[in-house]
Structure 1
């Protein structure tokens, strides 16, 4: 039932003191023939979908489709996380992550979503400035795609970069079960790299986490038997929320806190005890191969609900883009932790000039941390192997003022047509903990109403005591203007997802240049499902669909 974990934590006063790779909330190319749309990949396949012009070695591809019309099938499949643990996942084309879609800037893309699940689904193109009716938000831009039905998405791949796609129907559950994949748009001029690897990050609940959940569930049942059975009581009015990513019944997992060590009355993320890269953990993660002298790109995509801090051993690196947006003249550094929040993407490049067997690994102390690492192997090297060291204390990379300033898009002191403040916070109501924007939970939050061409400045303030809030704006990129009152003087940072730690304040700006109704929400989807959602709406805009009351649309 919804917020049962909240109630349990409230009653027990449960406190968890752990250090996490999230506690600061933080591929091999196998060319194959064109895939028959009816063919379903087996478990452990993570196929790439690519355009005819693409010849770049990339990611963990096992199948290639050689045109710009793709079919993505939502279906249930058994999925192995490591040598000991399997889950009944919800997949796109039979794999977790789903197929990588890889196209070239300017190409028209058509994706047929076929739903073979028992629940409605959608696809949202995270970070892509698609037309509003292609954004995949049930009840806002379309009706959810019903079981047995197909919906076709069509849009232009207009902005090169690293993006991803996922279901936005009941996202807190469906994304958690595996409905996501990466989406890469290569620039027209091509990429000046020799290797291009995509690493999609996520968290799952294994058997140990299941045991914790079952024990807590048992304690909850015992306490409930001594409580009032009033239908209107807090405990009896909490709706079920399946947040397992596993073959569990619908009431088995509830809202949980992303902050390990957090003693607040939030959701408990400690039950996520298997962390994955491209759907695999530990020994099941295949190493990345490089040759000495090659230029290598690593794309980090966080599809989970926790921040993860990554260290690339043995290499001098550059962060060349964030959320798909290029960083001008990035500097070189090494031995810093790159923290990737939910929904964020970071592209990293380096020259492979230090032969050896090195690690790309998550840092932290959670049970799942040790499994979230991947080896970087130099071809032909037979010497000593670098040792993983997830406990090593390293400084955090700071994107603010990284790179060199190009022509400024927006400034703090220019005139704006709309100025809006978002107070991000939490509070209790009759159903338990809610996550609020300016004191209200969606759908009661105040919308940001704009006109086409408006310049909009938004102040984001995280007044939550313990929770990070990675705020994601659909359909637009925004420029980060300031952090904690200090202007960003040295760089132009463009993003679509920005993580705010407790007490932090950012000012961002964007131009209202993509007409529609657009979600603006926290991408810890626990928080979104509990209210931290608003919309940017354009005056006079009318959606081109009629909401179906029988579609079970659940946009959060």
Structure 2
């Protein structure tokens, strides 16, 4: 995968290290009709420390990132979006199986919610897991400013752990005074290259926090990469975490790779591990995806010991063996060619129904294309009846990595670079390196229009989006 030089931390941010603050759960009382209000609004957040609030951010209920919503599987989520931003917005519920009208994609499933107005989202929570919600209107700006939050759906019988911790790893582009950099939003350089990259990395809105644990504790770590374009490859020092879920779906337990836990934009992972480090140890969680590995947080082992013998319960989540049955023999099929970007081979594409040359596409920031179309959503990539299997063969003919995300469904990779992939985990997003190919398969579920796009948000806005119709 392309190596990209990380922009250094601001010098001022290096001095701030606080204890881990898990994002708070939404506690505002529900209205008489059962809806809880999420107020989208401009906020200031102490990204660089309590005495240095960052201006220029947007979020929910005075926070950026927004509050954590927590429910149990089988419950009904009822959220009223109250838009107090200076522009329209909408909420996409990332990774969830839900009615198409609730998917939150302006121009495809709903109209954007104007400033000063509200929109009600209500749907049953079919699956337990780690999910998130975020703006899908000008996402390249609104998500970069903090218009997102986490949704945790607990199992009916959660696994036995001593701590259930959330780690939201994001990057922010700030100036030397700690203010959010607005001037480069929408910059063509970012759109045509690797996307907007920050110079300050936070975990739950804090720079390099400490995670306090005790020897012998069993941890569940829920990790989310909500960034516009940052790629993470997280390592855990001497600790040995087990991956038990990916993108909210339980998977066959397996250790984190020696190359690190790879998370592209929008991806999540649940880890479980028994803390076997000695009291007093301080272990870095580091990102080694780039050419200058850096810690993003530290696990600090307290002096007292909880237990010397690990719990008997398995390091696994229930339900990882259950999965939809893929019928590849009768699948509805489609091909998807990804082109464009800096140093690419694309010299023309269709935009707004007209074929345009590269220079004209650059003038309107449409520098990527799927199957020769630069983001027009007039025609679906494919139509598939509900209950049928569909496959999409994707080829990345660009010089850049991409994080492909399918709305409303989880898929399996059945082939990568011409080779079968047996027993791949179910995911709603997957990273693709330059020149790679993969074939994904899924079972069409809820009828409606479902977006398929690169979740590196500048790439999506620049033309890397299409959709499929479930009939």
Is residue 207 of structure 1 aligned with residue 175 of structure 2?
A: yes
Name the CA shift for 1:501/1:410 in 2 (closer, same or farther; >3 Å).
Answer: farther
Show CA shifts across 1:10-67 (max 9, x none): xxxxxx9854499xxxxxxxxxxxxxxxxxxxxx9x99xxxxxxxxxxx343764577
Contact 2:328 2:389 in 1 (8 A): no
Q: Secondary structure at the match of 1:320?
A: strand
Task: Decide which of 451, 455, 461 is 2:385's aligned counterpart.
Answer: 451
Which of 361, 364, 367 is matched with 1:431 structurally?
361
The residue number in structure 2 matching 1:173 is 141
Structure 1 segment 77-92 matched on structure 2, within 5 A: 77-83=43-49, 86-92=54-60
Match runs of 1:173-252 below 5 Å = 173-207=141-175, 246=180, 248=182
Q: Does the CA contact (< 8 Å) of 2:43 and 2:56 recur in 1? A: yes
Match in the other structure for 2:101: 133
Q: Separation in 1 of the partners of 2:41 and 2:203? A: 21
CA positional deviation for 1:471: 0.8
Q: Which residue of 2 aligns with 1:345?
A: 268
- After superposing the two structures, state which structure 1 stretch, 317-326 or 61-70, moved more: 61-70
Q: Can you list the C-alpha shifts for 1:96-144, whole angstroms capped at 9, x where unaligned?
A: 2111111111001101111111211111000001111111111211111
> Which of the residues 226, 230, 246 maps onto 1:306?
230
CA 1:280–1:256: 2 relative to 1, 3 Å: farther
State the 1:501 CA deviation.
Answer: 0.7
Which is worse superposed, 346-355 or 118-127?
346-355
Alpha carbons 1:410, 1:479 under 8 Å: kept: no
Q: Distance in 2 between matches of 1:255 and 1:297?
A: 40
CA contact (8 A) 1:126 1:163 kept: yes
Runs (5+) with no aligned partner, structure 2: 9-17, 306-318, 341-345, 348-357
Instruction: Tell me whether 1:98 sits opposite 2:66 in the alignment.
Output: yes
Preserved contact between residue 44 and residue 53 of structure 2 (Cα < 8 Å): no
Aligned mates of 1:18, 1:528 — CA distance in 2: 19
Q: Does structure 2 conserve the Cα–Cα contact (< 8 Å) formed by 1:256 and 1:526?
A: no
Structure 2 residue matching 1:467: 3-state secondary structure: coil
Secondary structure at the counterpart of residue 377 of structure 1: strand
Moved over 6 A (4+): none
Q: Normalising by structure 1, report the TM-score.
A: 0.69
1:463 matches 2:397: yes
Deviations 1:380-407 (A, max 9, x none): 269xxxxxxxxxxxxxxxxxxxxx9957
Which residue is 1:40 aligned to? none
**Bigger proportion of residues as strand:** 2
CA distance in 2 between counterparts of 1:108 and 1:320 reads 25
Is contact 1:471-1:500 (8 Å) kept?
A: yes
2:414 corresponds to? 481
2:247 aligned to 310, 313, 323, which one? 323
Corresponding residue for residue 311 of structure 2: none
In the TM superposition, residue 314 of structure 1 has moved relative to its aligned partner by: 2.1
CA distance 1:343–1:17, shift in 2 (3 Å): closer
Question: Secondary structure of 1:119's partner?
Answer: coil
1:71 counterpart = 2:21:
no
Structure 2 CA distance for aligned equivalents of residues 17 and 360 of structure 1 = 20
Conserved in 1, the CA contact under 8 Å of 2:26 and 2:69?
no
Change (3 A) 1:325 1:268: closer
CA distance in 1, matches of 2:335, 2:97: 23
Contact 1:21 1:364 in 2 (8 A): no
The aligned residue for residue 535 of structure 1 is 467
**Pair 1:281-2:215 in alignment:** no
How far, CA to CA, are the matches of 2:238 and 2:7 in structure 1?
20
TM (norm. structure 2) is: 0.81
Q: Cα distance 1:268–1:118, how it changes in 2: closer, same or farther (>3 A)?
A: closer
- Distance across 2 between alignment mates of 1:107 and 1:507: 34
The answer to whether the 8 Å contact 1:315/1:334 transfers is no
Aligned partners of 1:267, 1:493: CA distance in 2, in Å? 26
Determine if contact 2:395/2:437 at 8 Å carries over to the other structure.
yes
Tell me the residue number matched to 1:233: none
Q: Hey, what does 1:387 align to over in structure 2?
A: none
Residues 167 and 268 (structure 1 numbering): CA distance in 2 closer, same or farther, change over 3 Å? closer
Rounded to whole Å, the distance in 1 between the matches of 2:333 and 2:258 is 39
Corresponding residue for 1:362?
287
SS at match of 1:494: coil
Task: Identify unmatched segments of 5+ residues in structure 1.
Answer: 1-15, 23-43, 48-58, 211-244, 259-264, 383-403, 540-556
Which of the residues 432, 437, 441 maps onto 1:509?
Answer: 441
Q: Name the CA distance, whole Å, in 2 between partners of 1:409 and 1:66.
A: 38
RMSD: 3.0
1:549 match: none
Q: CA distance change for structure 1 residues 61 and 504 in 2, over 3 Å: closer, same or farther?
A: same
1:204-241: CA deviation from partner (whole Å, max 9, x where unpaired): 1122599xxxxxxxxxxxxxxxxxxxxxxxxxxxxxxx
Assess if the C-alpha contact under 8 Å between 1:357 and 1:375 holds in 2: yes
Counterparts of 2:7 and 2:260, CA distance in 1? 10
What residue in structure 2 maps to residue 242 of structure 1? Answer: none
Alpha carbons 1:90, 1:179 under 8 Å: kept: yes
Aligned pair in 2 of structure 1 residues 246, 522: CA closer, same or farther (>3 Å)?
same
Superposition deviation, residue 361 in structure 1: 2.0
How far 1:449 sits from its partner (Å)?
1.5
SS of the residue corresponding to residue 495 of structure 1 reads coil
1:333 and 1:118 mapped to 2: Cα distance? 42
Which residue does 2:316 correspond to in 1?
none
Q: How many residues are paired up?
A: 419
Contact 2:214–2:304 (8 Å) recurs in 1: no
2: CA distance between counterparts of 1:17 and 1:331? 26
333 and 113 in structure 1: CA distance in 2 versus 1, 3 angstrom threshold = closer
